Structure 1
Amino acid sequence: MAAGDDAPRPISLFYSYSHRDEDLRQKLQEHLAVLRRAGLVSEWHDRNIDAGDEWAKEIDRNLFSADIILLLVSPSFIASDYCWSVEVKKALERHDRGEAVVVPVILRPCRWGLTGFARLQAVPKDARAVTAWPNEDAAFDDVAGRIEALVERIRVERAPTARPHPDPLPQAGEGGTRGSVRVRAFKDLAVFRDGDAPWFPEMVVIPSGTFLMGSPPGEEGRSDDEGPQHRVTIGYRFALGKYAVRFSEYDHFCEVTKREKPEDRGWGRGQRPVITVSWLDAVAYCEWLTKETGQPYRLPSEAEWEYGARAGTTTPFSFGGTISPKQANYDGNYTYGGGSKGEYRQRTVPVGTLPANPRGLHEMHGNVREWVEDVWHDSYAGAPADGSAWTDGEGKDSSRLRVARGGSWYNYPRLLRSAFRVRYPPGGRYLNLGFRLARTLD
């Protein structure tokens, strides 16, 4: 059956390989043909470059847009200067930023265990080279099965909910409850609400202060976009949500504003963090809540978010140099900094399930990534040093990529670090992405 206009886009595969292994690449493509015919994947390799095209630009363009990058590993692949110094380097950088998944496919026996991608799960089973199997078709079928499972996992996480954005918000509906709390009376780290209505969030007063934003060059799992590390002084108090916004809160917003409720993947609503909401949805919620309460709610700036997440620490996580699934919701099959493996829940958990950081904020690491106000920049060169959002004057109608923070239920632990950052289109809705509120106090 032909895919309709509303069908999810295919997951894109990029083949990084040596031309000496072209016959093996073609055999792998034959085994993946069923995914291609089903519209689940699209594939690209350098034989797709047309005459007259600038080959290096075409390779970069497709490498930087791929969802899955297959490294077809062999002695020839490792010996190739271009594969090794260009494609592998860029692929691992995208993998470490959480933008793509890199899969080593071991074609022929070689000393690949000494490479930078040896830390990644390789295929076929037990990383036994395809040519070492008694039957190469059986080996490639094993590879195809594992890629099919990965494609489904990526579709679950990354495919936006196909739902149009509603018209601009009306004024707050009848029955609105406006708050009158005098926030300046609260002490630092106090928890408050702006009224008694059940959809009013619990907020934590964050004190002013100075911190080092970004990660040091030697931090495990660091990406270049986390630097240069720089000092930020937040000379004002503000409030952050004790929890990410819940489904119960967001569903009320949808009911009173006549918006379609977001998908929950069958995991439950209520106290779970809302997911499949875009940056635009999150901004609309902040605008509605501001009108409903009479108080200035908004998304946090990227600096405010990291300041709240670090909670006075300089370690990769607010819990220290490592993290465990008892502290955060992520893929517990993987470890960081000598930590131990643990549970992989494969979905969100209700907010407040896991321990708070030293500032009383729950699930700043893992569960869902969280939208912030800033537009994306590839580094902190020129970033504000006062805690304000770095937007380049772009308004909410801009198509510029927006930043998300915090890691999610789906991610490896290195992607939960306080300094880790990633970007998404502002209209995208994803199963691992929600938001947390900020509120201006002073």
Structure 2
Amino acid sequence: MRIGRISFISRVMLALLITAEMAAGGQAMAAEPEAKVIPAGSFMRGSGRAQREAAYHMDEVAYGHSRTRAQQWYENEFPYGPEETGGYVILRHLVTNREYQAFVMDTGHPSPDVTSDTWQGYGLIHPFSRTRRHAWQGQQYPQGRADHPVVLVSVADAEAYAQWLSEKTGQPWRLPVEAEWERAARGDDGRWFPWGNEFDAVRLNSHDRGPFDTLPVGHFVEGQSPFGVMDMAGQVFEWTATAAGPGRRIVKGGSWDDKGCGICRAAARHSRPEDLKHILVGFRLVRDLE
């Protein structure tokens, strides 16, 4: 509870500082959001056959069918082995509605939303009516969702927020590349999930225990990664800077809609069109370590 309370206060203070800066004409630098340092070094990336088979089995038990196995969802994962990253700093929490609102109000950037025609064009399973609980009214996020992760944002939206935050803090924020995201999620020892190799539904927001919706960030303290980064399994998928073919990006982490949860493993890879505005996709940012 103490960790969660401190995180909440940090996010509130950031929003207040940015609002005060806006009122003063934008002259002062805003406080940097809460983040964790990942030093330069090596980590164990990807998965082996045993892990992939275990992931398929988890899905089969949860869903009662073998669709992910038949469609070979996990066959594009990197072979298990060491990978190097430089040093970087990563936001401890997903960007929230409260934080994104400061950006929207300061810049006039379009608020998170999607039209019925656009949503139907995506061909997704979720009905359009389900997007309404996440959609903003003007520059106001949905009531009671200040500290939920912002969703219905495209790659361009996330990158615009990163540019704005960079200007406000004087630090060069950006979307993480896939390797940076994966290392922050699983640590250096190659664990499957942020907490270890065994799936534990009480440590994340997935469909296994509900509520089949987003939750305030930082709720699952026991699910944090070895580096202390929160919500890197379940909650919402996260955009990365890594391309997955023309006009597509890798997303990582799984979501509140998933159960099993093979897709929630740090090694799992999934791609989406970069202009997609989905209720299952949000983002966090990184910057290079000075």
| Same-fold call, TM cutoff 0.5 | yes
Q: Report the equivalent of 2:206.
A: 330
Could you tell me how far apart the structure 2 residues matched to 1:176 and 1:426 are? Answer: 33
Could you tell me how far apart the structure 1 residues matched to 2:146 and 2:188 are? Answer: 32
Q: Report the equivalent of 1:206.
A: 38
Aligned equivalent of 2:50, options 206, 214, 218: 218
SS at match of 2:201: coil
1:267 to partner: Cα distance: 7.1
Contact 2:78 2:267 in 1 (8 A): no
1:175 aligns with 2:26: yes
Q: Equivalent residues in 2 for 1:12-411 (5 A)?
A: 174-178=25-29, 195=31, 200-219=32-51, 220-221=54-55, 223-234=74-85, 236-263=86-113, 264=134, 268-332=144-208, 343-355=209-221, 356-376=224-244, 400-411=247-258
1:405-433 alpha-carbon deviations (Å, 9 max, x no partner): 01110012111001011111111000010
Q: Which has the bigger relative contact order, CA under 8 A and spacing at least 6?
A: 2
1:310 to partner: Cα distance: 0.6
SS at match of 1:326: helix
1:216-258 alpha-carbon deviations (Å, 9 max, x no partner): 1221226111033342112x32101110001101011011111
Could you tell me how far apart the structure 1 residues matched to 2:164 and 2:196 are? Answer: 37
1:109-145 alpha-carbon deviations (Å, 9 max, x no partner): xxxxxxxxxxxxxxxxxxxxxxxxxxxxxxxxxxxxx
SS at match of 1:254: helix
List runs of 5+ in structure 1 lacking aligned partners. 1-171, 180-194, 333-342, 378-398
Contact 2:45 2:190 in 1 (8 A): no
Q: Partner letter of residue 276 of structure 2? A: G
1:321 to partner: Cα distance: 2.0
Contact 2:159 2:175 in 1 (8 A): yes
Aligned equivalent of 2:265, options 413, 417, 420: 417
Contact 1:267 1:347 in 2 (8 A): no
Question: Could you state the TM-score of these two structures normalised by the residue count of structure 2?
Answer: 0.71
1:331 to partner: Cα distance: 1.1
1:156-210 alpha-carbon deviations (Å, 9 max, x no partner): xxxxxxxxxxxxxxxx97325326xxxxxxxxxxxxxxx2xxxx42111112211
List runs of 5+ in structure 2 lacking aligned partners. 1-20, 57-73, 114-133, 136-141
Q: Partner letter of residue 236 of structure 2? A: V
Question: Could you state the TM-score of these two structures normalised by the residue count of structure 1?
Answer: 0.48
Provide the aligned length of Structure 1 versus Structure 2.
220
Could you tell me how far apart the structure 2 residues matched to 1:250 and 1:177 are? Answer: 19
1:312-365 alpha-carbon deviations (Å, 9 max, x no partner): 232321212222232000011xxxxxxxxxx22110110110022221111111
SS at match of 2:234: coil
SS at match of 2:179: helix
Q: Partner letter of residue 438 of structure 1? A: V
Contact 1:178 1:292 in 2 (8 A): yes
Q: Partner letter of residue 376 of structure 1? A: A
For the aligned residue pairs, the C-alpha RMSD in angstroms reads 1.9
Contact 1:309 1:418 in 2 (8 A): yes
Compare the two structures and name the one with the higher helix fraction: 2
Contact 1:404 1:423 in 2 (8 A): yes
Contact 1:371 1:434 in 2 (8 A): yes
SS at match of 1:224: coil
SS at match of 1:429: coil
Distance verdict in 2 for CA 1:434–1:401, change over 3 Å: same
1:440 aligns with 2:288: yes
